[in-house]
Structures are given as structure tokens and as C-alpha cells.
Amino acid sequence: MKKVINLGIVGFGTVGSGVYNLVSRNSRTICAKTGIEIKVKTICDLDTTKVSAAVSGTAVTSRWQDITEDPEIDVVAELIGGISPAREIIRESMKHGKNVVTANKKLLAENGSEMLEMLADTGGSLGFEAAVCGGIPCIMVLNKGLAGNNIISITGILNGTTNYILSKMESRGLSFEQALADAQRLGFAEADPTFDVEGYDAGHKIAILAMLAYGRSIDFKTIPLEGITKISPLDISYAQDMGYTIKLLGIAKNINGKLDIRVHPTMIPKEHPLASVRNEFNSIMMDGDMIGPVVMNGRGAGSSATASAVVSDIVQLAGKPEFHPRFIGAAKLMSPEQRISRYYIRMLTEDSPGILSQISGTLGRHKISIASVIQKEVNAELVPLIIVTHEAKDSSMQKCVTEIEKFDFVKEHVTLIRVEDFKQQEKKQ
């Protein structure tokens, strides 16, 4: 016997329209597989004319209260994004006994503890698979498939825009600006790409994954974020020469009870599974203490991928496999004095004697050991100098770079990229 779920959609943009189209096209398939028939009862959007022209047999309104207060609606899909009124829509939906699905990573990452308190107060259920890499069922895997594991680390290519840009910089030798323009032309980047290229999008996603993996509330403002705007074709070329590729990674680790959560460009070995993930695709590697590393690849964004994740959540909630994560306190994040990494340092300097000794002396004073130096012969007054270090404290490296940039012979801002070899570290859960 089939079960009918009446759905209310709030927001009819890329994702909202994608959900409507998916349900309309595949309703029979969904019902045949799950025994659940999803009916879109009402759609809310400020532009009711646009919605009315695109749908049939569905009520259209500009008031989200018409959905949250409708006793016939079972599930509300909050797909407008942002903090407000999305937060109010979710709260009112749950107060009226409805389950909610959302793709709102900003709300979950920045107000995650509030959302869980809301679940506890109302007894509602919240599905948010679509909030993190829509085409990859990473939330379900983390919550269910790896429920018996302590999560040692999560490492991911979490943003398709930046991965596309870095892929084209590597394969076609494009500058950042050229690759960005190409991504915008193809619809992989927004007109204002700041949210993606400066690491905020990946930061929201790794924050959500870390909260679920470690059961701790996280202050998003404390997560260090670095984007890819400073990466040049020169860095891409040197990375290839050294056997690495550059990816924007979101990283979360539990090290001796403290969480190391960050987003930044990273040089990773070419043979690593994440290195082969190209263009707009995403990839997530979760390392469990019992199962070891689990890698999932797929499209992370776009109308179809995100809509698929939203519908998956609707089906899951209809079957009542409720999941109510509980936080056991605020996360203790590692400080810059505790975070360590290997580093690639590129600087443009005058071609004069004694420069390398001054730079190496500065590194030495901060207890940073040099692993290798690269300086290709060029017939120019200014030459790129590349130094790769052994592991060093993040705080020491930042202080060192500040000092190096004060030298008169250094002519541009220093480029600093972390190098990750993914060696196993002893971690206490």
C-alpha cells in the first residue's frame, strides 16, 4: 500500500524548480521503489508569476506561512537559503508537526547547535543531505554507514567551482582569472564568485561534516579559511614538477581530543585518490578507525544533483528513520601554535648573492627546517625562489612569511601553500 506525502516547497530557484521537476518526472519510479508517492501541494516564491507559468495542478503563494500552517502538508522543503527567514520557516514548520528538508549549508554551519535545539524542542526531523555535496550521499554514510566507527579524519574537495578552476589551470595552463571566466561562461561559477573562491562554501560544508562526525558544536568564525585567488600557473607547474597537484581541501581531524578544522589550497600527491578528481566534481574521504578510508565521488552541486538529495531526504523522513544528533559540548579547536604542516613557499626576489642565506636564516630563527630549494636558471633581474619545508607550526610559518616580505629584495607577496602527504598520525579519539 502506497503512502502519500504532501510536499510544500519554499523557494523556486535552481534547487526548488529542480525538486519540482524531479518529482513530476520520476514520481512513478519513486513510488515503485519506495511505496511513497510525493505530491507537490504548494510552492512559495516571491515571484508567483514565474512559478505559475512553470507548474500545473499546484497551489502557488508568496506567503511561506501558507505552507507551514497547512495541516495537509507533511514535509516542507526550505530551499531559499540564508539565515532569515529560513530559520523561521524551519521553526514554524516543526511547531506545526511537519518534517523539514533543507539544502541550507550556511544556516546549518553557522547555527547548527540552534537547529538541533529546535529539533529537541519540537520533536521534528530535519533532513539536510542536500546541504553538503548534493550528488554524494555523505551525510547518510557518515550517520549510518560509519556509525560504528570513530572518525579519524574527513578530507574533501567540497566545492565544484574551485575544483573546475584549478583543473583548467593545470590542464590548459590558464591563469586564475581566465579559468574563472571559463567557469562563469559554463555556469559553474556565479557572477560574484567570492563565496566559492575564498573558501566559504567549502568551509560551511566541512563544518557540518565535522559537527556530525565529532558530536561537537563549532563556531564557524573560528575556522581558518583560505581561497585559491593567489594560486598562479607557476605554482601549478612547480607542484607538477614535484609530483603534486593543487586542490582546495576542507579538512577535519580529531587529534588528541582537539579538532583541526580548516580550508585551504593544498598540494597532494598525484597518486592520491583525490588528485584524480577533475573539473566540477567533488570527492570526500572519510577515515574510520575500523573501516579505514572511504572515498565518495560525484557532482556536488547543480539543480539535478541537489534535487536528488532533497528527494532522498523526503523519502527517508517518510519512512520515519529519524536521526537526532546530539552535541556533547563545544568543540575545542586547535590553535595556530598546535597546527602543523609542510609548506611550499614561493617568492619573487632579486637575483643577488646572499639572498638565500638571509631567507634560510629567517626560517631557522623560527625553527623551520628546509626540505628542498628550487631556483631555476632564468635570464632576468627577478627570479622565483621556491622553498619546501619540513613540518612546522602554522603560527611560526605565518610570522616567518611576514618577516620575509619585509626584505627589500622580495618584490611580491609570498605565496604559501600547505603540502599534505597523508601520512598516518596517531590520534586519540
Read off the pLDDT of residues 52-87 as tens digits, 9 standing for 90 and up. Answer: 999 999 999 999 999 999 999 999 999 999 999 999
Percent of the chain with pLDDT over 70: 96
Q: Tell me the pTM.
A: 0.93
pLDDT digits (tens, 9 = 90+) for 211-256: 999 999 999 999 999 999 999 999 999 999 999 999 999 999 999 8
Q: Report pLDDT for 428.
A: 38
Q: Report pLDDT for 323.
A: 56
Which range, of 14-28, 121-135, 402-416, averages the lowest pLDDT?
121-135
Q: Report pLDDT for 326.
A: 63
324 pLDDT more than 80: no
Domains and CATH numbers, the chain: 3-131 (3.40.50.720), 138-297 (3.30.360.10), 340-419 (3.30.70.260)
Q: Report the C-alpha gap between 15 and 12 in whole angstroms.
A: 7
Q: Calculate the CA dihedral of residues 345, 346, 347, 351 and round it to 10 degrees.
A: 110
pLDDT digits (tens, 9 = 90+) for 282-297: 999 999 999 999 999 9
pLDDT digits (tens, 9 = 90+) for 133-152: 988 999 999 989 999 999 99
pLDDT digits (tens, 9 = 90+) for 335-348: 888 999 999 999 99
197 pLDDT more than 90: yes
Percent of the chain with pLDDT over 90: 83
pLDDT confidence tier of residue 425, bands split at 50, 70 and 90: very low
pLDDT confidence tier of residue 429, bands split at 50, 70 and 90: very low
Q: Report pLDDT for 263.
A: 98
Indicate which residues carry an active-site annotation: 205
Which range, of 99-103, 328-332, 336-340, averages the lowest pLDDT?
328-332
Q: Which residue has the cell 547543480?
A: 302
